[in-house]
Amino acid sequence: MGRPRRLHAPKTLSHVMGRGNGGDPIFKTVDDRLIFLGILEEVTRRCRVFVLAYCLMGNHFHLLIETGLIPIGDVMRRILCRYARYYNKTNRRLGHLFQSRFLAKPCLDEAYFLAALRYIHRNPVEAGLVETPGEWLWSSHRQFVGGVRSTLLALDRTFSLLGDDPASARRRYLTLMEEESDFQPSFEPASPPDERKPEAIKTLEELVLEVPESEPTPDEKRQGSRPRAVSRFRRSFTEIATANGYGVSAIASFWLMTGYCG
């Protein structure tokens, strides 16, 4: 059975990760990282895609990307193929550089966006490579805190998701980076529906009924915070729908058409 085709929805924000084949390094030198960032900037600019955050580790990378009219699969294929050709030629190697195709997780609500942003920039800290995010040169963190700007990062666009103005957005970001979190994104590829048994594929209307009910926390009850409960519900539904082979476009369309909020 072939791999399921990625469904595309313009203006979708995704947490994207690529890992070296078998866990091998994909960045060995400063030049490697600079070449990758250069390719990333050129391709995303031509495809009119926005990079909202990034972090390059040793054997993998993380990106927050907002797509435009060109599907994210096409964008990432251009980036990864060009970098793999450079890396293989430079290191006189053959074969696949990346493990399978890239993996992407849609950020369908603010809670996931904030958790992913924090996770990406704290990745070097959690890996024990540095003590603070600002010490890692190969992420976009230092651009968030000021003093460094590049044409690669759509910082103004990211800040627009964090606050009403750059100053408040930066304060919120700094607070976010100090918060505790047990967030661990799941990057397991979704299993495609069984094409031999189409009658067994569940509809989104059926899957939404499988989302476990979750009682509001005491704080939410006191504050009357329904949006947080809705966000939890949508995240749970997205996990279930993705595991059943549905893509971000189908899931987003389901919310738009039904207005279902748990």
User: What pLDDT score was predicted for residue 213?
Assistant: 63
Please say whether the beta carbons of 64 and 140 come within 8 A: no
- Higher per-residue pLDDT: 121 or 226: 121
Q: What is the pTM of this model?
A: 0.69
* pLDDT tens per residue across span 167-221: 999 999 999 999 888 888 765 554 443 333 334 456 766 677 777 765 555 555 5
* pLDDT tens per residue across span 125-158: 999 999 999 999 999 999 999 877 889 999 999 9
Backbone CA torsion sign across 214, 215, 217, 219: positive
Domains of the chain: 13-178 (3.30.70.1290), 198-258 (no CATH)
User: What pLDDT score was predicted for residue 258?
Assistant: 56
The vertex-39 CA angle with 37 and 43, nearest 5°, equals 120
Q: Is the pLDDT of residue 99 over 90?
A: no
